[in-house]
Amino acid sequence: MTNYLVSIATQGVIFAIFVLGLNVRWGWEGDLDIAYYGFIAIGAYIDAVITLPPASQRPPTEYILGLQWPFVVGALAAVLAGAVLSLLVGALALRKLRGDYFAITTLATALIMQAVISNDARIFAGYNGLYGLSQPFNSLLRLDAHVYPVFYLAFCLAVLIAVYLFLERLFWSPFGRALRSVREDETAAAAFGRNVYALKLTGYVLGGAIAGLGGALFVHFLGAFNVSAWAPVETLLLYAAIFVGGTGNNRGVILGIFLVLVFFQEVTRFLPEIPGHPDFGPAAREIMIGILILVVLRWRPQGILPEPRARDRDRSLPVGAVAGSAVTGTGAGG
């Protein structure tokens, strides 16, 4: 039972990292990105082929690299891969496309990525998949099989906290504010000197880097990865978490992913089984997630924790002490 809880908690923590990255793209920047899970997958694959031994040692699977380098290198490469791929996709998709057109383009991107990786089995071993991933840091720690998952949970949690603190700082910074202004009205943002394309692209790359990082953590958690482990539809689960938890709110989306993933995925496991209908459990799960989204959208359309509002705190003088009038006081003629 403890193993089971640790496993679920780790999955929740890793998915929380995923959803934080998607929240930058959708919550802050306002771009409905369907390709997101593809960037997680790229992070997972790149980390895997960097940390795994050469493919020649594992016939019949084939994959690139196989460097057997440490996890830290693999994770950094995964971040970089997520960022670079986002730069390529975003540079094309964000130039002119908005709304539905952008969403369809990213859906196509995800499908192309999946088609290429599944059909060319020489890159990431296609449907055979990559397996036997190392336990990060365990060559140093030498923890036994019962203790290591607890360490890995703690490690993922530390990464989640770091990502969260980074994004909180960014949310309130001039950059975060500019990105949100682009979401609210990009024409007005341009009229006040904002390079909308550059801002959106930066946000998109940031989201991709976080996806890559999450992918690296995920692949070592799973221990194996293949094409059937990811599909564009997974992105929708992350969107469900964002809608339920609160679009744009870092804390909200973390709450959302734990509600949607952990609560609904796992609690529905305990539903009674109906003989002859093995699909009942998974189907009931999806229906319940759907109902949860509807309930939230009906009674709390901004999510359980809506996007926080900036409070202007006067840190120097009380308002009344500001001398004169900035508007009428400047011109000599008034």
Partner 1 sequence: MPALLEVRDLRKSFGGVHAVRDCTFDVEAGSITGLIGPNGAGKSTAIDLISGFLEPDAGVIRFAGLDVGGWPAYRVARQGLVRTFQASRVWAGLTVMENMLLAAPAAGRETVWRAVWTAAQLREAEDADRIQARAILGDFGLLSLKDDPAGNLSGGQKRLLEIARIFQARPRMVLMDEPLTGVNPVLGVRIGDGIKNLVSAGMTVLMVEHNLPFVERVCGTVVVMALGRPIAHGPLDALRSDPAVVDAYLGQVVASV
- Bridge partners, residue 63, by sequence: 124
Find the binder of partner 1 among 59, 60, 174, 272 (CB under 8 A).
174
Contacts of 263 (CB under 8 A, 6+ apart): none
Range 271-310, binding partner 1 (CB under 8 A): 307, 309-310
- Does 317 help bind partner 1 (rule: CB under 8 A)? yes
Find the binder of partner 1 among 22, 178, 253, 261 (CB under 8 A).
178
Q: Please calculate the CA angle 239-242-245 and round it to the nearest 5 degrees.
A: 145
- Does 84 help bind partner 1 (rule: CB under 8 A)? no
User: Of the candidates 69, 67, 71, 117, which has an alpha carbon nearest to the alpha carbon of residue 213?
Assistant: 71
Find the binder of partner 1 among 161, 188, 224, 295 (CB under 8 A).
188
Cβ closest to partner 1, residue 159 vs residue 189: 189
- Does 25 help bind partner 1 (rule: CB under 8 A)? no
What is the chain's percent helix, strand, coil content, to nearest 5? 70, 0, 30
CB of 259 to partner 1, least distance (A): 24
Residue 179, token pair as written in the block: 């990105």
Give all strands (DSSP E) within the chain, no chain letters.
130-131, 224-225
- Does 140 help bind partner 1 (rule: CB under 8 A)? no
Cβ closest to partner 1, residue 20 vs residue 206: 206
- Bridge partners, residue 131, by sequence: 224
- Does 96 help bind partner 1 (rule: CB under 8 A)? no
CB of 84 to partner 1, least distance (A): 16
Cβ closest to partner 1, residue 155 vs residue 175: 175
CB of 192 to partner 1, least distance (A): 6
Find the binder of partner 1 among 78, 125, 189, 213 (CB under 8 A).
189
Cβ closest to partner 1, residue 133 vs residue 167: 167
CB of 256 to partner 1, least distance (A): 19
Q: Taking a C-beta distance cutoff of 8 angstroms, is the pair 34, 239 a contact?
A: no
Which range touches partner 1 (CB under 8 A), out of 42-50, 66-74, 105-113, 321-329? 321-329
Kindly list the distances between the CA atom of residue 325 and the CA atoms of 166, 276, 321, 332, in Å, as whole numbers in the listed order. 38, 78, 11, 13
Total chain residues near partner 1 (CB under 8 A): 48
| Cβ atoms within 10 Å, residue 231 | 15
| Cβ atoms within 10 Å, residue 56 | 8
- Does 199 help bind partner 1 (rule: CB under 8 A)? yes
- Bridge partners, residue 99, by sequence: none
- Does 327 help bind partner 1 (rule: CB under 8 A)? yes
**What DSSP state is assigned to residue 4?**
H
CB of 178 to partner 1, least distance (A): 5
**What DSSP state is assigned to residue 225?**
E
Cβ closest to partner 1, residue 15 vs residue 243: 243
- Does 148 help bind partner 1 (rule: CB under 8 A)? no
DSSP 152-206: HHHHHHHHHHHHHHHHHHHHHSHHHHHHHHHHH-HHHHHHTT--HHHHHHHHHHH
310-319, long-range: CB < 8 A, 24+ apart: 310/172, 310/177
- Does 73 help bind partner 1 (rule: CB under 8 A)? no
- Does 120 help bind partner 1 (rule: CB under 8 A)? no
Q: Taking a C-beta distance cutoff of 8 angstroms, is the pair 216, 155 a contact?
A: no
Which residues would be at the binding site for partner 1 (CB under 8 A)? 166, 169-170, 173-178, 180-181, 183-185, 187-196, 199, 202, 206, 307, 309-312, 314-317, 319, 322, 324-328, 330-334
